[in-house]
Amino acid sequence: MNSSTANAHETIQWIGQTDGHLRLIDQTLLPEKLKEIDCRDIETVWEAIKILRVRGAPAIGIAAAYGVTVGLNAVDDSDTDAFWKTFDESVDYLATSRPTAVNLFWALDRLKTLAKDLREDHGGDLPTAREKLLAEAKSIHQEDREMCHSIGRFGAPLLEGVSGVLTHCNAGGLATAEYGTALSVFFTAQDQGHDLHVFVDETRPLLQGARLTAWELMQRNIKATLICDSMAAQVMREQKVQAVVTGADRIASNGDSANKIGTYSIAVLAHAHGIPFYIAAPSSTFDLGIESGDEIPIELRNSQEITHGFGRQTAPDGVEVYNPAFDVTPAKYIAGIITERGVISPVTRENVVAMIGG
């Protein structure tokens, strides 16, 4: 993460060489406490992804890639069969941590593709295999950093003439390698001398907007105003915002985009008020293998996130709870998808495939 965003603390770091470990900011403790955790075994990496110590589609993918290398630390270089068996088991295990964020599977697939070649060319040279697998994870990390900056460069011009903008959940440096996706647009605009006033949805029930996005914006000295999710319509009616920018966790080939629960509502409200709604996401977030958002799996989370938010009971015992973590915004409500390759607008299947490939 850029030194101006989070007191020089990086969201994700690899410490050491091939026998090293993964270090993460524990985002469940923000903003009250900035603490880094060291993941020295694969179970700790899986748990960090599952319970949102690390979250945001790109960051999940990076953490999972490093997690495979962490998993391989459990075996030595004397048993080739055990090494590759552990690799396969590590990939399969990490794939069970979160079902919606496509970057998780994209990153694991990259390592699987590399591993296939390594088995054929260096099957018994395990030190070389370790080095190349770690190098691939580091490449995924660096590529994401570069993609975030490119997204910002393409997205910032869309905010010319805009003074107020709304965002939902957290799509900043805490969700990626550095600048983020949606927040990269704001950070880049700031770098170019454009002062923005960002309205931040709390993003219930886990308050990623309140805990994380507001914190990141304040670290950058960007004017931020926190609102409850249910206040977005009023803010739009009062003409306090002229654009909305959010991230995404998976985008179908027709442009339908899954993001944190509540995003769909924001997009519909923006459409009703004539406000452009933008998605900012790297090409790795696109899943061209699915036709529409109807095919995106939606993670259902523990009911206690609603009934006992942050440890305090706020609902009667035994109440039925429905807790989807994501919703899907139809492409028709999206003015443009900002990628590291350019802006997809209008958002159609043809334009998605032309920009992303297929």
Query: Following DSSP, what letter does each residue of 307-343 receive, concatenated?
Result: HTGGG---S-TT-----BSEEEE-GGG-SEEEETTEE
**For position 122, what pLDDT does the model report?**
65
Q: What is the third-level CATH fold of 12-149?
A: Four Helix Bundle (Hemerythrin (Met), subunit A) (1.20.120)
Q: What is the pLDDT of residue 241?
A: 98
pLDDT value of residue 24: 96
Angstrom distance (rounded) from CA 240 to CA 279: 20
pLDDT lower than 50: segments of the chain = 1-8
Task: Please name the amino acid found at residue 220.
Answer: R
Provide the pLDDT for residue 161.
Answer: 95
pLDDT of residue 358: 60
d(CA 68, CA 70): 5
Amino acid at 173: G
Distance, CA of 308 to CA of 4 (rounded, Å): 35
Which segments of the chain belong to CATH 3.40.50.10470? Answer: 155-356
Beta-ladder partners of 200: 167, 226
Cα distance between residue 104 and residue 95, in whole Å: 7
Position 4 scores a pLDDT of: 40
Q: Is 76 a catalytic residue?
A: no
C-alpha distances in Å from residue 24, one per residue of 13, 48, 73, 120, 175:
7, 9, 18, 33, 11
Structure tokens at 218: 């304040």
Of 249, 294, 317, 327, the active-site residue reads 249
The two structure tokens encoding residue 72:
């391989």
User: What are the residue ranges of CATH 1.20.120.420 in the chain?
Assistant: 12-149
Helices 57-72 and 80-94: crossing angle in degrees, nearest 10, is 160
Q: What does each C-alpha distance from 353 to 27, 147, 251, 254, 286 come to in angstroms?
A: 34, 18, 12, 9, 10
CATH architecture, range 155-356: 3-Layer(aba) Sandwich (3.40)
**pLDDT tens digits, residue range 76-105?**
998 999 999 999 999 999 999 998 878 999
Work out the number of other CB atoms within 10 angstroms of the CB of residue 126: 21
Specify the long-range contacts of residues 223-227, CB closer than 8 Å, at least 24 apart. 223/195, 223/196, 223/197, 223/198, 224/197, 224/198, 224/199, 224/200, 225/197, 225/198, 225/199, 225/200, 226/200, 226/202, 227/199, 227/200, 227/201, 227/202
* Apex 238 CA angle, 237 and 244, nearest 5: 70
Nearest to 253 by CA among 291, 299, 283: 291
Round to whole Å and give the CA distance between 33 and 10: 15
Give, for 224, the enclosing helix (H) or strand (E).
Answer: strand 223-227
Two structure tokens written together for 226: 């926190």
